[in-house]
Structure 1
Amino acid sequence: MTANGLPRILVLYAHPDPEASVANSAMLAAISQLSHVTVHDLYAAYPDFFIDATFERELVRDHDIIVFQHPLYMYSCPSLLKEWIDVVLSKGFAHGEGNQTQGKYWRSVITTGGAAEAYTPDGYNRCSMDEILRPFELSAMLCRMTWLPPLVLHWARRVPVAERNQHGENYRQWLQAPGALMEEAKDGE
């Protein structure tokens, strides 16, 4: 926790083409001035995909909430984020005999190119966003982290600018006061 009682939040931002992302750019702009939030752009830090696991694990240790912000790619995350999960949250650190992530919180913040209706059993993708994100929820569980409900912006490039900006504002507000969601998640365990 910070001196002002807010949890330390690490936003792992993973977008292979950040200049093309109007939604993620707006979301990052909305949160950029929050002093208890560290935004870590994985594609900027590791263009060669060689992840410094020691540095990354120190970041994880130093934060209470880990936010995985990325576009939905092929029903998953961009490849560098998957590499980060595999390398950093490995057995011996985050699970197995390792317990460095125990008690932390995991929240996925996702943008999609499709409308919300596409993520239903009858929609184009034939399953819900909860079903698509199940591997991430299971990873959080394996790492003894508390899974927080994802924050999803559907149709990210096509929503009206006002709606996109409101989504960024909702994201900022949650990062400034995540307690209610954290309590709700703990009550559901």
Structure 2
Amino acid sequence: MSNKKILILFFHPRFEDSKVNVKLVEGVKQLSGVTFRDMYELYPDFNINIIEEQELLLAHDIIIWHHPFYWYNCPPLMKQWLDLVLEYGWAYGSNGKMLTGKWAMNVISSGGNFNVYHNEGRNRFTHREFLNSFDQTAHLCLMEYLPPFIVPGANKLSSAEIENYMIRYEQIAHFLMKDNIDVSKLRLVENFNQLNEDQWEHQFYKMQ
């Protein structure tokens, strides 16, 4: 049994108005091994407790940045968190190695579907391409960046579709906490949406 622990940092300034995210959070926050933090509830004044946040990062193995996709990026509190918590000399820089080997990923809800997030679509780039700044952030902090999990067309989903995304989110969390995942293979995947549980079981475990 794996002892990996997941820290979900949830950034949504209007959480109560998001049917999709209310449901996503409802499922995953109850899982054993998961610590869930509603960051806008904790820091409505943006006065982030840097020491506490760093201690939580050290106590967990997998960091999930869960947020709506605002203007191809993250909400302002998340940007504030990145700027303040991932300090030079602590998270990166010649002596900044505290997050070495940890895993990071984005879970996002997006108003646009995949058909507008591609090279020939209205938004010209894929979700994954827009998330490259987070990939580079993780890389700079000596972390492994995992494929994102995307909930596209979030404002138009049926209750049944939202339920399916909630279940999928839980499955991803369970998968990531398992031993012997070959992260070198996993990082080559565009996003978790492309995979099903059978593929996780057969493609991404290290040979013993």
State the TM-score bracket (shorter-chain normalisation).
over 0.9
Change (3 A) 1:123 1:173: same
2:157 counterpart (152, 156, 159): 159
SS at match of 1:116: coil
**Contact 2:2–2:177 (CA<8 Å) still a contact in 1?**
no
> Which stretches of structure 1, 4 residues or more, deviate above 4 A after TM superposition?
179-182
Query: Size of the alignment, in residue pairs?
Result: 186
Say if 1:148 and 1:182, in contact at 8 Å, map to a contact too. no
- Equivalent residue, structure 2, for 1:89: 86
Residue equivalent to 2:193: none
CA distance in 1 between counterparts of 2:88 and 2:62 reads 20
Q: Secondary structure in 1 aligned to 2:27?
A: helix
SS of equivalent to 1:118? coil
CA shift, 1:107, in A, is 1.0
- For residue 30 of structure 1, what is the aligned residue in structure 2? 27
Question: Is 1:39 aligned with 2:36?
Answer: yes
> In structure 1, what is the equivalent of residue 139 of structure 2?
141
* Distance change in 2, residues 1:106/1:40 (3 Å): same
Aligned with residue 76 of structure 1, among 73, 77, 90: 73
Distance 1:53 1:163 in 2: 37
Q: Is the 8 A contact 1:120 1:126 kept in 2?
A: yes
Task: State, as a whole percentage, how many aligned pairs show the same letter.
Answer: 37
CA gap of 1:137–1:126, structure 2 versus 1, over 3 A, is same
2:107 and 2:148 in contact (8 A); partners too: yes
**Is the 8 Å Cα contact of residues 14 and 81 (structure 1) preserved in structure 2?**
yes
Q: Which residue of 1 aligns with 2:190?
A: none
Residue 102 of structure 1: how far off its partner (Å)? 0.5
- Paired with 1:123 and 1:181, the residues of 2 have a C-alpha distance of 38
- Provide the C-alpha distance between the structure 2 equivalents of 1:36 and 1:163, rounded to a whole number of angstroms: 26
TM-score (norm 1): 0.93
Instruction: Please list, as runs of the form range in 1=range in 2, the aligned pairs for 1:59-70 lying within 5 A after superposition.
Output: 59-70=56-67
- The TM-score with structure 2 as length reference comes to 0.85
Give the aligned CA root-mean-square deviation in angstroms.
1.7
CA distances 1:37-70 after superposition (whole Å, capped 9, x unpaired): 0001110010000111000000000000000000
